[in-house]
A = this chain, B = another copy of it.
């Protein structure tokens, strides 16, 4: 008998039929003899609808009240899920974030978990009940107010519960059946990974892979939680995300050397800003990126051209989320005289391709394969950045899908058959 934490996202509980299907799945796990704790998101588009209502009554909703509002979404889904399980003859109890002991700081809308005290959950498990917990929400002890965890909050709830309850596994359910070597909608020959290294998963998630939220993977790695990413719509195994020293329960095949490249991530959500004619003097880059940071923009890649000796000036390009571009441009334009640059160019037609693999640490020539594959296909590389286990390049957005396919093939990642692309709304 194991203790299993399961997380179901909004699309898995979008309507009454979906809720009953999820309830059946939970009951099956209980029938197999396991203790089950479930973290659940709000139904389908509930959160967006509530946000829309909020914007109708208040241009800038008060953060405390917005959290109170949004946290009602999970109360609805968790109560419905608990009563559905109940009607199948199993004891189920739902708990809000505060009832579940999900203690956070007081940052409304993006609260950090500071402690998990699942006293009531343990009592319910001891009583033989299935436990349903509202994802995405917590409670601050000082203000006694309800908080929400922000994007990917329900994944984080599930992992935090798994850590606090010392669960055997944290199953993250969605409408895809695991982690793929690439997005199957972009690369039809993408293969599902049986296992992926937690560090690789972090790089993939940070660079465009959408199945797991980086914050949850990070929390899992830090607390030694074993994640199993699975599909709500099938009973097959998904992908195990393995931290240091972890193996998947079946254990098969774990002795093999890991592949050099785990997967290829694509990201169309970034824009590029180029600052032209920056005086090539020490401290200029620091000055520029302090201004950008102060504007609230999140810079990703940075490239500085070789300075033209004749002018003493250089160009600096950086990428950032498209949604952050306006504020960064405003901040830079406002300080043009002080920085002394000549011009600003904004480009939101870029695509970012990342190749991730822990094997890069010990294998050379990995980047050469990437550059060669793109070159043969006539795809121009505009920027390059690397980490210990990742190489990213910026190409034209229109070229991104083609780039992903040729690179996927070049690293020998292609499967024998095309991947099935699942219907659904993503997460």
- Show the binding face of A for B, using Cβ within 8 Å: 16, 19-20, 23, 50, 53-54, 56-62, 64-66, 68-69, 71-73, 75-76, 78-84, 86-87, 92-94, 99, 120, 144
Cβ of A72 to closest chain B Cβ, rounded Å = 4
Contact A120 to B99, CB < 8 A, known contacts A76-B69, A80-B69: no
Number of identical protomers: 2
Q: Which of A78, A80, A84, A94 is packed against the most chain B CB atoms within 10 Å?
A: A80
A120 cross-chain contacts in B, Cβ below 8 A: 144
Q: In whole angstroms, what is the CA distance A337 to B194 when docked?
A: 71
Q: In whole angstroms, what is the CA distance A56 to B99 when docked?
A: 26
Cβ of A113 to closest chain B Cβ, rounded Å = 21
Q: In whole angstroms, what is the CA distance A167 to B50 when docked?
A: 33
Determine if A66 and B83 form an interchain contact, defined as CB atoms under 8 angstroms apart: yes
Main secondary structure, interface of A, reads helix
Q: Which 5 A-B pairs have the closest CB atoms?
A: A16-B56, A69-B79, A58-B87, A57-B84, A68-B79
Determine if A53 and B66 form an interchain contact, defined as CB atoms under 8 angstroms apart: no
Q: In whole angstroms, what is the CA distance A68 to B71 when docked?
A: 12
A81 cross-chain contacts in B, Cβ below 8 A: 57
Query: Whose C-beta in chain B lies nearest to the C-beta of A91?
Result: B62
Q: In whole angstroms, what is the CA distance A76 to B57 when docked?
A: 12
Cβ of A342 to closest chain B Cβ, rounded Å = 42
Determine if B83 and A61 form an interchain contact, defined as CB atoms under 8 angstroms apart: yes
Cβ of A357 to closest chain B Cβ, rounded Å = 44
Determine if B16 and A57 form an interchain contact, defined as CB atoms under 8 angstroms apart: yes
Cβ of A134 to closest chain B Cβ, rounded Å = 10
Q: In whole angstroms, what is the CA distance A83 to B19 when docked?
A: 31
A–B complex contacts, Cβ < 8 Å, 12 sampled: A16-B56, A50-B76, A54-B79, A57-B81, A59-B87, A61-B87, A62-B83, A64-B93, A65-B82, A72-B73, A72-B76, A75-B75
Query: Whose C-beta in chain B lies nearest to the C-beta of A82?
Result: B65
Give 13 new A-B contacts, CB below 8 A, not counting A57-B84, A58-B83, A68-B78: A16-B56, A19-B57, A20-B57, A50-B76, A53-B76, A54-B83, A62-B82, A62-B83, A62-B87, A69-B75, A69-B83, A72-B73, A72-B79
Q: In whole angstroms, what is the CA distance A265 to B78 when docked?
A: 43
Determine if B53 and A68 form an interchain contact, defined as CB atoms under 8 angstroms apart: no
Determine if B86 and A62 form an interchain contact, defined as CB atoms under 8 angstroms apart: yes
Cβ of A207 to closest chain B Cβ, rounded Å = 36
Query: Whose C-beta in chain B lies nearest to the C-beta of A20?
Result: B57
Q: In whole angstroms, what is the CA distance A65 to B40 when docked?
A: 15
Determine if B76 and A58 form an interchain contact, defined as CB atoms under 8 angstroms apart: no
A82 cross-chain contacts in B, Cβ below 8 A: 62, 65, 68
